Chains A and B, each alone.
Chain A
Amino acid sequence: MAPRQAKPAERVLPNQTLIIDNGAHTMKAGFATSEPSLEDCQVIPNCLAKDRGKHVWIGAQLEKCNDFGEIAFRRPVEKGFIVNWEAEKAIWDNTFFEQNAKLVCDPQNTNLILTEAPNTPTPLQTNCDQVIFEEYEFASYSRSLGPSLNAYHDIQNLFGKLPREHHLAALPAECLLVIDSGYSHSTVTPLFNGRPIQQAVRRLDIGGKLLTNYLKELISIRHYNMSDETYVMNEIKEAVCYVGEDFRRDLERTWKGTSANRKKPLPDEQDIVVDYVLPDYNAHKHGFMRAHDPSLTAKMRKMGSMSGAGDVVEDYMTLGNERFTVPELLFNPGDVGMKQEGLPATVLQSLSGLPPGLWPAMLANILVVGGNSRIEGFMSRLKTEIRQLAPSECVVRIARAPDPIKSTWLGGAYLAANPVALKAVQVTREEYNENGSVWLGKVFSGAARR
């Protein structure tokens, strides 16, 4: 009656393990070592890009690209899921399998730990499994929910406790709530002993891409048409945006006043308004932010009216409330009409899917990963609002991973560093060949056991 089952004792894994945290914007990839380190993780653009000279760049090749003007992207990962394998294969081949690849590897002698975003539609999971085993023929493979790999970090150490004992190194944290605010969206995942509580996973459909596009839209209305300049807009966003403690106050501070009564900025208000100098792709490849110079604005205006074209002047723009109204969307999605609560309330929605008995432990162990957590002021606003929303009896502790971009990858590296833990999650190609892809899907979802 019982189906044929592979006996775990017979499974022998190769020594090499490749970990890929395959994000929509960048892929974080590298081989596991016995002493996991961020140095072993490469951040590679997960895209094909066509520059204005019509040249197509693949993934890591973009390092050599010097002109990002009007560059267009094709991304195989949509909403956090690998949707287009034709493009993803081109990027993976370039990164892992071609001669002189950055992380060249022989899949038949390599274990693969690959992340997926929460709530992936089943057919996309099946596609992924089939490509891994049938096309690349990895020796063994596990498809892990990205946030869950973070449970293998020394969480208590992040909250200021002493580093864990070595023998505990591969044990996942008992209770952990992971907030992952990335390019496609922001997810909240409660974990128990490293396993996701799927019923309580929640997603806010605001991520770095939407913030960049919103900033691009505001600047295109107010300054220059930047509609084809997504790359530079992302750099501007990363340089200037901040999450305010007091949105209304900052909006008043950046108000220009009426024409009859121009408001003069108070000394403590001047620091909000800044100038951003755009890259010219000659002298400077990247733009930069500097203090706002009102006299310069006046001068430029004058020059513009006196002389026509021909003057080589730097292109810059003055940014005020755009700096904080853009990342504010993570806290007030309704500001662009999105019918979802902000990220702090999304955390509480996730908790509502758990028995109240778990709330204290989850609220006391919140880890934040993903690029948006690096926005200045994000962490303190998040903490303040979660504190306000959470039951007052609960302690709220919230930490940002030391490297929020590579954190999920590093968690995977800790897992891979322990042979016993690794063996428990990996499925070998022999097992796949014997049991098939439906069985594999059940193993990864926890519905079938080996």
Chain B
Amino acid sequence: MPHIEVLANSTSIRAPGYTLVPDHGQGTVQAAVQPTAGRNKRGTRFAGIAGADTTVAQQNAVLKHLADLDRDSQRDVQIAVPSKQRDSAGKVQKKTTTNVRRILMSQKTFANHLADEEALLALQHQHPSSATPRVPALRLSRSTPNAKRSWTSEEQSTHGEALQTGALRAGRNVSRGTRDRLDDEPLLKSQVPSAPSEEVMEALLSGPPLSYSAARAAPSPSGKPQRHFCEICGYWGTIKCMKCGTRVCGLECKGAHDDGRCLKFYA
């Protein structure tokens, strides 16, 4: 029984066991194989992506893969501190404080600490009155500055949605009149907004750190489609194995995949 996946809205070429995904990875193979040139149409370009890798199983596979790539050791090795070193360390006669004893005994991993932090943040979210300074005081835009927009429109949008604190807004207007070192740089003159006032800078600098998760870089707002590569040779992964979802570049690599690596998720 061939497994065939029909991708909605896409001009995929089907054959037993695999799907040719109209990817954005315009390799020569695809250009040659795909006769209907619909690649310039937005809908066609993204349809394959949207329909291709969004099942729960595939998302979990991606997460597991990322976790694997984050590991320090392939095996779960236990490496104990050598006992000789443990004994002779530091000043033996000194008493260890309760704090230090607790810290040295702790077996917590970073994942544990991160879970603690997120639980605390969730709690503060429910009870804002007990919030600690971890909650950002200044709410600034998290969207990426758009290069192609002019400064004027950028400023408007920033004023409109991002700079909600009165101090910042006022400070910026005040700073119009002041001269700054930067104004002497001829290349930077005139077109750009002037540097913020001292007051604004002090407000910015006294803002508390973000949480670990909040500091993580965001995904592309435009939803840039993912590129896929052939598992076997690394070339564009235009073909998707219907049994396991792995990408390969052509029939030759599909053969190699079937021989050695397919169904690894089920094994």
* A263 CB, min distance to chain B CBs, angstroms: 10
A and B contact pairs by CB, cutoff 8 A, 23 listed: A56-B81, A134-B97, A192-B205, A197-B204, A198-B207, A198-B210, A203-B217, A213-B71, A256-B235, A321-B234, A322-B234, A325-B229, A335-B227, A337-B66, A337-B226, A341-B219, A349-B218, A353-B140, A353-B141, A360-B182, A389-B144, A391-B151, A393-B191
CB distance from B232 to the nearest CB of A (A): 7
**Which chain A residues lie closer than 8 Å to B250 at the CB level?**
258
Which chain B residues in 64-117 approach chain A with CB under 8 Å?
65-66, 68-75, 77, 79-82, 85-86, 88-90, 96-97, 99-100, 103-106, 108-110, 113-114, 116-117
In the complex, which of the residues A78, A322, A447 contacts B133, with contact meaning CB atoms closer than 8 Å?
A447
Q: Are B117 and A121 in contact (CB under 8 A)?
A: yes
Q: What is the minimal beta-carbon distance from A146 to any residue of chain B, in angstroms? A: 13
Interface contact A73-B104, CB-CB below 8 Å: no
Is A416 part of the contact surface with B, judged by Cβ < 8 Å?
Answer: no
- Nearest to A442 among chain B residues (CB) is B133
| B106 & A203 in contact (Cβ 8 Å cutoff) | no
Residues of B within 8 A of A136 (CB): 90
Check A209–B215 contact: CB distance below 8 A: no
A243 CB → nearest B CB, Å: 16
Which of the candidate stretches A13-21, A86-94, A309-317, A398-406 sits at the interface with the other chain? A86-94
Shortest Cβ gap from A348 to chain B (Å): 5
CB under 8 Å from chain B, chain A span 149-202: 174, 192, 195, 197-202
| Residue in A227, A356, A364, A447 whose beta carbon sits within 8 Å of that of B145 in the complex | A356
Bound state CA distance, A94 and B89, in angstroms?
8
Q: In the complex, A120→B96 CA distance in Å?
A: 25
Expressed in whole angstroms, the Cα–Cα distance for A211 and B205 within the complex equals 34
Q: In the assembly, what is the distance between CA of A309 and CA of B158, in Å?
A: 69
Q: Tell me whether A334 is interfacial, beta carbon within 8 Å.
A: yes
Question: A355 and B172: CB pair below 8 A?
Answer: yes
* Bound-state Cα–Cα, A325 to B231, Å: 12
Whether B136 lies near A199 (C-beta < 8 A) is: yes
Residue of A nearest to B224 (CB): A334
**B193 and A124 contacting across the interface, CB-CB below 8 Å:** no
Nearest A residue (CB) for B209: A198
Return the chain A residue nearest B234 by Cβ: A321
State whether A230 and B188 are in contact (beta carbons under 8 Å apart), knowing that A127-B103, A351-B145 are contacts in the complex. Answer: no
Are A228 and B72 in touch, CB under 8 angstroms? no
Residues of B within 8 A of A203 (CB): 215-217
User: Chain A residues near B151 (CB, 8 Å)?
Assistant: 356, 391, 393
Residues of A contacting B99 with CB < 8 Å?
Answer: 130, 134, 437
Q: Tell me the residues in window 352-398 of chain A with beta carbons closer than 8 Å to chain B beta carbons.
A: 352-361, 364, 388-395
Q: Which residues in window 186-217 of B have CB below 8 A to A?
A: 187-188, 191-196, 200-201, 204-212, 214-217
Given known A-B contacts A50-B79, A121-B114, A321 and B147 have beta carbons under 8 A apart: no
Complex Cα spacing A337 to B64, Å: 11
A45 / chain B contacts, CB cutoff of 8 Å:
none
Query: Which of chain B's residues have a CB closer than 8 A to the CB of A292?
Result: none
